[in-house]
Amino acid sequence: MAAHHRPTHDHQIGKQHMPNQTVAVLGLGAMGSAITARLRDTGYDTVVWNRTAAKAAPHAEAGSRAAATVAEAAELSDIVLVVLFDHASVREHLEPIAADLKGKTVVNVTTTTPNEARSTAAWAAEQGLTYLDGAIMATPDMIGTPYSRFLYSGDRGAYDTAREALETLGAADYEGEDAGLASLKDMALLTAMYQMFSGFMQAAAMMRTVGVPASQTAGEVAGWLGAILPHTESFAAVIDDRDFSAGQSVDFTRAAVGSLITASREQGVSADFLEPLLSRLDELSATGRGGVNWVSVNEQLAIG
């Protein structure tokens, strides 16, 4: 989930322009429902399918066509947008209808790992299908707003065919021919997000020990992180240049993180989120690299 400030294309998709593609949405959870509503509101003929048929009823009442089966949904559509639970459910529902998907553009925005995305793309290629993998950098309420961003990778022709429909949902960024690239970027950005939120959980736990409500800490954290986040650009330059000779040292940072851990424990709060970083810094110091830039922990993260 990432804030994104590129506007969507309502000036192109609206009452002045009636799309001629029919889009099937497979999966009507919160995200699938938001996507369906947005497509419908921007003039697209929509077909919906869900394992629990009752979830399709509100969409049918709003103007979508409800399909009884996945095969029927594919038959009625030009673009098949897959918004299911996980990789296993995607393969479970697409493999039996491979023949029905021929001639369609299949766009899978179900959350998967990079290798799962590549696996499905390889299967689709074996079946002669037009397939694009994607990742959603938005929450359901953000769909169709300037903050919604979708990442896509794989078949460029599939992206070009579906692009107009996809841009109604949010910024539609094509990452490249490797079908795993969209998922990789999605997972990398979400990793940064969860690590950031973990830091907030730690901070809130520490401050609650003296009666400060989490809501107050949230405001403090938002202000502090907003001021400090631009430093990631200078860290990035150090990582890309691989010059760790200057900057805040491993040993300085090791002492600072050690103090954070001590402070947490003094308040009766676990330091589990901080200890892995200290372990990395300890390793660098023990191997004679205590004087180099602490950003060199990035080098340790590469397996092998």
The 3-state secondary structure of 151-217 reads EEEECHHHHHHHHHHHCCCCEEEECCCCCCHHHHHHHHHHHHHHHHHHHHHHHHHHHHCCCCCHHHH
Structure tokens at 149: 């961003």
Q: Is 292 helix (H, G, I), strand (E, B) or coil?
A: coil
Residue 246 φ/ψ, nearest 5 degrees: -125, 165
Q: Is 23 helix (H, G, I), strand (E, B) or coil?
A: strand
3-state percent breakdown (helix, strand, coil) of the chain, nearest 5: 55, 15, 35
pTM: 0.90
Q: How many CB atoms are located within 10 Å of the residue 156 CB?
A: 13
d(CA 53, CA 235): 50
Q: Is 150 helix (H, G, I), strand (E, B) or coil?
A: strand
Above 50 in pLDDT, residue 221? yes
pLDDT tens, residue by residue, 37-88:
999 999 999 999 999 999 999 999 999 999 999 999 999 999 999 999 999 9
pLDDT tens, residue by residue, 170-210:
999 999 999 999 999 999 999 999 999 999 999 999 999 99
What are the residues facing 206 on neighbouring strands?
Answer: none
Cα of 198 vs its chain's centroid, Å: 17
Q: How many CB atoms are located within 10 Å of the residue 200 CB?
A: 16
> What's the residue count for the chain?
304
Mean pLDDT value of segment 213-222: 98
Above 70 in pLDDT, residue 17? no
Which residue carries 């938001």 as its tokens?
A: 34
Which residue carries 């990778």 as its tokens?
A: 153
